[in-house]
Chain A
Amino acid sequence: GAVVSQHPSRVICKSGTSVKIECRSLDFQATTMFWYRQFPKQSLMLMATSNEGSKATYEQGVEKDKFLINHASLTLSTLTVTSAHPEDSSFYICSARDINEQFFGPGTRLTVL
């Protein structure tokens, strides 16, 4: 099946710094990509929907100026967590959809010290 990759898989940063997470669809073109966040022992929560070449649509309560999403090509979307704080520590998962199916990346664990 189609594969979605994320980089890095794990990142630790200091409070106040910015972190970029990449999401790539490896063998298909994804017009739409989704970004989810998952806190410990909780389910995945959608943060934003990203369409190639246009601005992302953010879910209620998600700060668009803090979580910058760029979907510059059909195979790459990036999420930048700006001025990260310890409460941003979470498991970030991207998802990409081709014509028929939606595939999820392996996730990126962000720890903000």
Chain B
Amino acid sequence: DAKTTQPPSMDCAEGRAANLPCNHSTISGNEYVYWYRQIHSQGPQYIIHGLKNNETNEMASLIITEDRKSSTLILPHATLRDTAVYYCIVRGDNYGQNFVFGPGTRLSVLP
């Protein structure tokens, strides 16, 4: 079973920041928080991941709370092409571990 909970859907206006929350209250000390997204009929696309510290890359920012029980993915300036299902996944650093996908959040960016 997935170790995360996310809202099933969210809307965001084009050009505004999209803030996608994720709860992972049972996260272990060696587990990372990963974010992927899936645009319709495509494979999942990696966005960002982190352990404790906040992370930023060209796609998004990841804010992890100090107790690591929740996190927020921020798309700073959402575009229509960001409409997708966003998955928050926790996974340990063991090489053989796979990703367990929950239902994710369906983000709709509206013009």
- Which residues of A does B touch, CB under 8 Å? 1, 4, 6, 31-32, 34, 36, 42-46, 49, 51, 91, 93, 95, 97, 101-107, 109
Give chain B interface residues in 19-57, CB to chain A under 8 Å. 36, 38, 41-46
State the main secondary structure of chain A at its contact with B.
strand
Residue pair A105, B102 in contact (C-beta under 8 Å): no
Q: Is the interface of B mostly helix, strand, loop or mixed?
A: loop
A-B pairs under 8 A by CB, number: 50
Residue positions of B touching A, CB distance < 8 A = 36, 38, 41-46, 87, 95-96, 98-104
20 more A-B residue pairs beyond the given contacts A95-B98, A104-B43, A104-B46, with a C-beta to C-beta distance below 8 A: A4-B43, A36-B101, A42-B103, A43-B101, A43-B103, A44-B38, A44-B101, A46-B99, A49-B96, A93-B44, A95-B44, A101-B46, A102-B46, A102-B98, A103-B46, A104-B36, A104-B44, A107-B41, A107-B43, A109-B41
